[in-house]
Structure 1
Amino acid sequence: MSASTPPRPVRADAERNVTRILEAAKVVLADDPTASLERIADEAGLARATVHRRFACRKALLDALFAQLNEQYLHALDEAKVETAPPLVALHRVTELVIGIKFSHRLAVDVVSRVHNGHSFLGDEVVERAELLFSRLHAAGAITAASPSWCLRLYLAVLDAVHQLPAGAPELGEGDDAAARTRLQVSTVLGALGGRGPQ
């Protein structure tokens, strides 16, 4: 193939196989983070050679799950306009979206979180943009904590606790579950960082 020949597009069935493999990986690895590619192939209902053709090793598969989840977080940061929206508005909106991701992609979040301990499961761009939001909150006087890295670590710790609350927990109060979790997350984080809640 010459240098000017464009690469062949991935066939539709190959794309479907990748989707099946990633979905199977979420199920299997949520149960057993050390599971082999062979076990994931069995869960996907595909030949082991098919899985190995798409993902040469376990790390390649985990990297694909990591990238998929980080794309969701980047989309949330884009939609919340963390660089330009009023910082308290952006914090509320990104929290609302991230809580949605944690519930709609629960298995992926669990798998990636187990494999990457701490907030290192977030890609560099996600961390950089999230920390920028906390810098903006500090500059606007909405929080007194000055270290964006510390703010993000605290945010993620609270997010995990809020996510683990059972539906109807007294901490959530009344109303829509997602909205209640968002309110609890934002008010707890702002309070812990020396800030004020949404007005």
Structure 2
Amino acid sequence: MAVQQQARKVRADAERSTARILEAAEEVLRLQPNAPLESIAEAAGLARATVHRRFASRASLEAALADRLDQRYVLALQEARVRTAPPLVAFHRLNEIVFELKLSHRYAMQLNAPLSPAVLDGLDLLFVRLREVGAISATEPAWCRGVHLALLHEVNALPSDSPELAGAAGSSETESRARLLTRCTLGALGGERDAELFRL
């Protein structure tokens, strides 16, 4: 029993160290994309050897960052309740969460790692549901997803002072980007252009 408890403690310590490394890496690499692992170790408050034990190379660290981001996408789909919430509400909320992730995970976002099947399936389900309620007329979920991701990239690239982001008084930049993405995606996919459709 003591051996099992010790093993659990070692695993828990390793998981905490890994989380600290990934959090530090996201912050350090956002500011200094070519920073060495040593800088990440310092920011995490860990020995350099600990970081090298967890991540033998820069590539393995980046793979872990991409995987962590993908897990957050899965959580975003759950938080937006893509299976149960009214589809327009779920779509707009998902867009808000994604822009929040883009702010807090800028380096991982730049890695352009492929989305996992769980994320792709969640997005496809949402586009099926949007079509069922008449919010879009496009029929192929994978194509809808491609259009949405392309527009997401373009909306994210807009400078913060873009007139396209001028929203309702008191709206945050994240909210303004989410509204623009929601409106443009639904319009591109054959949705109604009536402003009432986008009053979420």
TM-score, normalised to structure 2's length? 0.79
Distance 1:99 1:79 in 2: 14
Paired residues, what number?
A: 187
Give me the CA root mean square deviation.
2.8
Q: Secondary structure at the match of 1:8?
A: helix
- 1:161 positional shift: 1.2
State whether residues 24 and 40 of structure 1, in contact with CA within 8 Å, keep that contact through their aligned partners in structure 2. Answer: no
- 1:144 positional shift: 1.1
- Map of 2:4 onto structure 1: 5
Q: Which runs of 5+ in 2 are unaligned?
A: none
Q: Which runs of 5+ in 1 are unaligned?
A: none
State whether residues 21 and 40 of structure 1, in contact with CA within 8 Å, keep that contact through their aligned partners in structure 2. Answer: no
State whether residues 30 and 106 of structure 2, in contact with CA within 8 Å, keep that contact through their aligned partners in structure 1. Answer: no
Instruction: Determine what percentage of the aligned residue pairs are the same residue.
Output: 47
- Map of 1:183 onto structure 2: 179
Q: In the alignment, does 2:158 pair up with 1:155?
A: no
State whether residues 96 and 178 of structure 2, in contact with CA within 8 Å, keep that contact through their aligned partners in structure 1. Answer: yes
For residues 1-199 of structure 1, the aligned pairs below 5 Å read 5=4, 7-10=7-10, 14-15=14-15, 17-26=17-26, 27-28=28-29, 32=33, 39-45=36-42, 47-110=47-110, 112-113=111-112, 116=113, 120=114, 122-174=115-167, 175=169, 176=171, 177-196=173-192, 197-199=197-199
- 1:48 positional shift: 4.0
TM-score, normalised to structure 1's length? 0.80
Distance 1:90 1:131 in 2: 13
Paired amino acid for 1:162? V
Going from structure 1 to structure 2, the CA distance change for 1:67 and 1:30 (only over 3 Å counts) comes to farther
Segment of structure 1 superposing worse, 51-60 or 145-154: 51-60
